[in-house]
Amino acid sequence: MYVIVVGGGKIGFYLATALLSEGHEVLVLEKDPRRCEFICEQLGSVVMRGDGCEARTLADVGTERADIFAAVTDEDEDNLVACQVAKHKFKVARTIARINNPQNEMLFKKLGIDVTVSSTNLILEHIEEEVPTHSLIHLLNLEGGRLEVVEMKIPEDSQAVGKKIGELAIPPGSLMCLMVGKEGAQVPTDDTIVEADARIVVAIRPEAEAMLRAALTTAK
Amino acid sequence: MNIIIMGCGRVGAQLAALLDRDGHKVTVLDVEQYSFRRLADNFGGTALVGDGTDEDALRKAGIEDADVFVSVTQGDNRNVMAAQIAKHIFNVPKVVCRIYDPLREEMYSTLGLETISPTMVGAQLFRDMILG
């Protein structure tokens, strides 16, 4: 595959290294001449000095035949514009943007960027998994963040323990997908009894998180 | 009208003064407090420190009630991103943005943004002046 990487910082450099070792054709676009020199010394002539947001530069590097276009500079706005130019001027099928501000995820999706990678969200997800007191874990974002799949652990002292799912004040529009308890995994129905320490996977709108948390974790 | 101007450079400050004088409710947003020195002493609007590419900062500046959003910072990409947030996230009725790079300007104007490229406009003015 031909992959264009915009931004030859640490992420761009290691990304290019990994892609090259997998046998892909890679081109890194970087504005800073010293950084270009470094990448050239390390990886060979896979780097070009230039602004990845400029249509002329992108034409020079054959962007129209790129399979993947990844913008990974540390500025969200530069990544957005580079991907938009690749998408609209050069019809690149797959554009990937790195974002710092997780709020930008929705905007980028709305503007046609295929994939966004938010380091802030990735780290946050890992912290949520590590910290046992944090009862709600984000597993997946859908529909550009308008819907999410979360996992909740039912605390032992929760008022939900021993009740039927149908009796709980589950937010409307949310879907209980899976309960993993002592007996293993099952698809919960209204009659399923909630077990202490069980994990429940729910598809839900982000704004309904607080209500779900209250329904499943409020102490007796 | 409620008007938000992002970027208090020479153009931003001048535009703020003009619109303020015309009786509009103007809010100027800039990441540097120091930039507000360019605003006239009798400027009657609001000056707010904040990043116009950040939704929370825009909300603080009152974007939900804005009739017009103008982005005139030094960075093309910042202007374009803020303009697209104003247009697509907050549905501001009129959004205008400055893009120095003529190629980028052309693309965003086809994508439906109202854009001005001072590079293009400036070059044309010079040409007209030279050729009389």
Which class would CATH give A132-217?
alpha beta
- For residues A194 and A165, the answer to whether their CB atoms sit within 8 Å is yes
Picking from A81, A84, A92, A146 by the largest number of B CB atoms within 10 A of its own CB, the best residue to mutate is A81
End-to-end CA distance of chain B: 38
For B45-100, the DSSP string reads SEEEE--TTSHHHHHHTTGGG-SEEEE--S-HHHHHHHHHIIIIIS--SEEEEE-S
Mean pLDDT of A9-34: 96
pLDDT digits (tens, 9 = 90+) for A138-165: 888 887 778 999 998 888 888 889 999 8
- For residues A142 and A149, the answer to whether their CB atoms sit within 8 Å is yes
Nearest neighbour of A77 by CB, restricted to B78, B104, B107: B78
d(CA A150, CA A162): 22
Counting residues of chain A whose pLDDT is more than 90, the rounded percentage is 62
For the cut 80, the answer to whether the pLDDT of residue A130 exceeds it is no
Nearest neighbour of A80 by CB, restricted to B81, B89, B101: B81
For residues B67 and A121, the model is more confident at B67
Number of neighbouring beta carbons within 10 Å of residue B6: 30
With beta carbons under 8 A apart, name residues in chain A contacting B88.
107, 110-111
Distance from the Cα of B54 to chain A's closest Cα (Å) equals 8
Please indicate whether, in this complex, the C-beta atoms of A75 and B84 are within 8 angstroms of each other.
no
Mean pLDDT of A67-84: 96
Q: Which residues of A touch B (CB under 8 A)?
A: 53-56, 75-78, 80-81, 84-85, 88-89, 101, 103, 106-107, 110-111
Which residue is listed with tokens 């703020």? B16
d(CA A204, CA A148): 5
3-class SS of residue B28: strand
Across chain B, mean pLDDT equals: 96
Amino acid at B105: E
- For residues A73 and A103, the answer to whether their CB atoms sit within 8 Å is no
- CA torsion sign, B30 to B36 to B40 to B46? positive
Query: What is the pLDDT, as a whole number, of residue B98?
Result: 97
**Largest distance between two CA atoms of chain B:** 49
Short-list A106, A105, A103, CA closest to B51: A103
Short-list A99, A102, A110, A83, CA closest to B88: A110
- For residues B113 and B86, the answer to whether their CB atoms sit within 8 Å is no
**DSSP strand pairing (B2-6 vs A199-204):** unpaired
Domain ranges in chain A? 2-122, 132-217
Structure tokens given for A34: 């010293």
Please indicate whether, in this complex, the C-beta atoms of B104 and A53 are within 8 angstroms of each other.
yes
d(CA A25, CA B8): 44
pLDDT bracket for residue A132 (50, 70, 90):
low
pLDDT bracket for residue A133 (50, 70, 90):
low
Domains and CATH numbers, chain B: 2-131 (3.40.50.720)
d(CA B88, CA A111): 9
pLDDT digits (tens, 9 = 90+) for B88-120: 999 999 999 999 999 999 999 999 999 999 999
Nearest neighbour of A78 by CB, restricted to B55, B77, B88: B77
pLDDT digits (tens, 9 = 90+) for B58-91: 999 999 999 999 999 999 999 999 999 999 999 9
Q: Which helix (H) or strand (E) holds A144?
A: none
Lowest mean pLDDT among A3-7, A51-55, A159-163: A159-163
What's the fold here for domain A2-122?
Rossmann fold (3.40.50)
For the cut 80, the answer to whether the pLDDT of residue A192 exceeds it is yes
Please indicate whether, in this complex, the C-beta atoms of B76 and A103 are within 8 angstroms of each other.
no
